[in-house]
Structure 1
């Protein structure tokens, strides 16, 4: 019997990789994406592509009326965490209200499972490594929206029996990333700057730590999770186990791109300084293969960037709050 999965954000970075893996698992894949951060070139061959937004309830209802959808993979989001302070209305309308539209449709159409890509942004600043049992304390509107969706999914499960799986990935990079987005995804930003012969820009002293995660260590497991009954109604951190400073990342990106790099340190912005997670719960359920090293992942990403070239960085419009906006974003 044909399994049909709806992938929101499927023309974006992580979403397109998840869609590709679902096709390999012989799902019929329907992609809904408004192309605000994705590209039609990312849509894998064999998927049904619908251009539109999760904020469009009429469109969502039409999709469910026309297709018998078994699973929802919800990856659509404007994931510029730092910028979310300055686009609060946009953030909540697109990331939170749009998600609620999908949860409503999931309940009304008896979806088998709702698989949601959240973020470790929900944790905020806490004891490291971050663990699923810690109570989230998000420090920016992006993380607040993600946590609200997590809570709503739990409520929908208790009230209506909607099963879900929540993944909290972090700092994912790899081929297909929108390297032209200057507000998010530091690996892509660095590689785009190198491609354009520009210095690498780092907010603050560069001693912030993150665990940078290659896409192939995330997307296959999100795609296959629908078949893991033990994962139902659970939350999983997913990503790399090894943390690096942003300064170290800059050096590694230079090596992968085979370029000498210079660094321009900008004024420190408001952000969590150290964020990396424990993945023992994910490992116990999903038994993942050995992770890609940072050097290996950056080399594969650099190959793709070299083939496709630099992209121009657009400016988000409209910014809702300009107070305390970093100068490089003005």
Structure 2
């Protein structure tokens, strides 16, 4: 039986990834320090190793205790805005941790890694449709550390037999279990407001988009999880491109999201429009053609699916 280590597997995205690996017949060991994850999110059947990747000795001990065939590396500090105030912490959690992980993988002769990267590596792109050739220009320590993580893994692969790829996420939403508990993401922000009886906010309605609000690419978390399983399977037998965008190719505006949220939740509301936030690009939408070609991956869920599943998870949390 194949066993994969999922770092950050007690988090919102990581727990969905772990669940999909188990459903595919792959054993899972979760490594998580529970700083933002939750023990209850770890799916039944997965083993939890509680500790931090910053502790090199602990990481080495995990590989000594388990026969690991591959790694999905999701653990990290993910709050881009806060990373500006905490750059050293962000680099430690996202870069030092990745070095420790790669060193332990090399010592244990683990052959494959799928890296959780981010659309933050692109910064504010100047193209309507981002693809893997779009120039990277991260604009926060968080985005920088994700790009450095990609570089570290690629550099390590040049001197070893490591097989690797990185999946760049855009806006991951929806649920099939754990809710998104981020204090900054759009869906949980809106749901917290609705559950509290307050009115959600839109930041800026004078962008150069059809309805004046920001346009983003949204993908259901179970589609993202499925991409990780597909990447892991592909790496077991061959090589992949160094990076893939997990994008739908279709943008949705904040106003469209809000309108559908009112319909799905049955709570009519008119969002309060606040001034635009500095640094928010008008549009970020990504092509998923490369992932479709190599991983057989295409998003399967509609906006209604995303909202209804996320709303149900937020209500049961």
Is the TM value for this pair above 0.5? Answer: yes
Structure 2 counterparts to residues 15-164 of structure 1, below 5 A: 15-126=14-125, 127-164=127-164
Normalized against structure 1, the TM-score is what? 0.87
How far residue 295 of structure 1 moved from its aligned partner, in angstroms, is 1.6
How far residue 307 of structure 1 moved from its aligned partner, in angstroms, is 2.9
Instruction: Report what 1:232 is aligned to.
Output: 240
Deviations 1:255-314 (A, max 9, x none): 221112242334433334121111111111122355211122211222222333xxxxxx
Q: Which runs of 5+ in 2 are unaligned?
A: 206-211
How far residue 7 of structure 1 moved from its aligned partner, in angstroms, is 0.4
CA RMSD in angstroms, aligned pairs only: 1.8
Q: 1:230 to 1:282 in 2, by over 3 A?
A: farther
Alignment partner of 1:111: what SS?
coil
Deviations 1:106-134 (A, max 9, x none): 22221110110101111112212111112
Alignment partner of 1:134: what SS?
coil
- Whole-Å separation in 2 of the counterparts to 1:146 and 1:286: 22
- Whole-Å separation in 2 of the counterparts to 1:180 and 1:11: 12
Instruction: Report what 2:209 is aligned to.
Output: none
Instruction: Report what 1:264 is aligned to.
Output: 272
Deviations 1:203-261 (A, max 9, x none): 33372211111112110121232221455352100132221122221222222211122
- Whole-Å separation in 2 of the counterparts to 1:220 and 1:81: 25
- Whole-Å separation in 1 of the counterparts to 2:54 and 2:202: 34
Contact 1:180 1:189 in 2 (8 A): no
How far residue 135 of structure 1 moved from its aligned partner, in angstroms, is 2.7
Moved over 6 A (4+): none
Instruction: Report what 1:319 is aligned to.
Output: none
Contact 1:124 1:272 in 2 (8 A): no
Instruction: Report what 1:287 is aligned to.
Output: 296
Normalized against structure 2, the TM-score is what? 0.90
- Whole-Å separation in 1 of the counterparts to 2:104 and 2:201: 42
Instruction: Report what 2:183 is aligned to.
Output: 182
Q: 1:87 to 1:250 in 2, by over 3 A?
A: farther
Q: 1:31 to 1:259 in 2, by over 3 A?
A: same
Aligned pair count reads 306
Instruction: Report what 1:327 is aligned to.
Output: none
Deviations 1:151-191 (A, max 9, x none): 111111112232111101110012245544322x2112211
